[in-house]
Amino acid sequence: MGAAHSASEEVRELVGKTGFSSDQIEQLHRRFKQLSGDQPTIRNLRKGSSGLADEINFEDFLTIMSYFRPIDTTMDEEQVQLCRKEKLRFLFHMYDSDSDGRITLEEYRNVVEELLSGNPHIEKESARSIADGAMMEAASVCVGQMEPDQVYEGITFDDFLKIWQGIDIETKMHVRFLNMETIALCH
């Protein structure tokens, strides 16, 4: 009884901390166990100058996943905008690997190269060109016409918000919770 009470207390705390329902937490816990091989942590995440952890436990996993929580239909416009800003801040920090508040060309190149590294048809130089072009477009959106000798230092969070303005991030950056019975029928 004590262990069950403690587990339900822990779930209630996680509901409050993450905004997920207890059913969603249960589904995410099953997925976490699959990803971790039924271990208490997911290991071998990149660690380096970016400060990414070597391993994460279930609570860390839930915290990260909470940024991808679907928008609650009962939220007012101010709450939706706050949620949007939190998602974008999380995304910004994924690019800003040195946490200096600015996404530099080098940081952006690293992310693009990493994302495209699994595609055998795109060479590293092509990935760099894609990143360079995107950074030039960001500069034009954020700074406007630049002088020939002007150097774009990188994307600040305010710049990042400008770039994402008008893009429906709420429907593109969220977790979908599928009916597990329906999935079982598909196999």
Q: So where are the chain's domains?
A: 1-70+173-182, 74-169
Cβ–Cβ under 8 Å, residues 153 and 104: yes
Model pLDDT for residues 23-41, shown as the tens digit of each residue = 889 989 998 999 889 999 9
Model pLDDT for residues 46-102, shown as the tens digit of each residue = 544 445 557 889 999 998 888 888 777 888 889 888 888 988 998 899 899 899 999
Helices (H), 19-168: 22-36, 58-66, 77-95, 105-116, 124-142, 157-164
CATH 1.10.1200.10 fits 74-169, yes or no: no
Distance CA 174, CA 28 (A): 13
Residue 139 vs residue 187, higher pLDDT = 139
When the pLDDT of each residue in the chain is averaged and rounded to a whole number, the result is: 81
Contacts of 94 (CB under 8 A, 6+ apart): 111
Distance CA 22, CA 4 (A): 14
Distance CA 179, CA 27 (A): 10
CA-based R_g, the chain, Å: 20
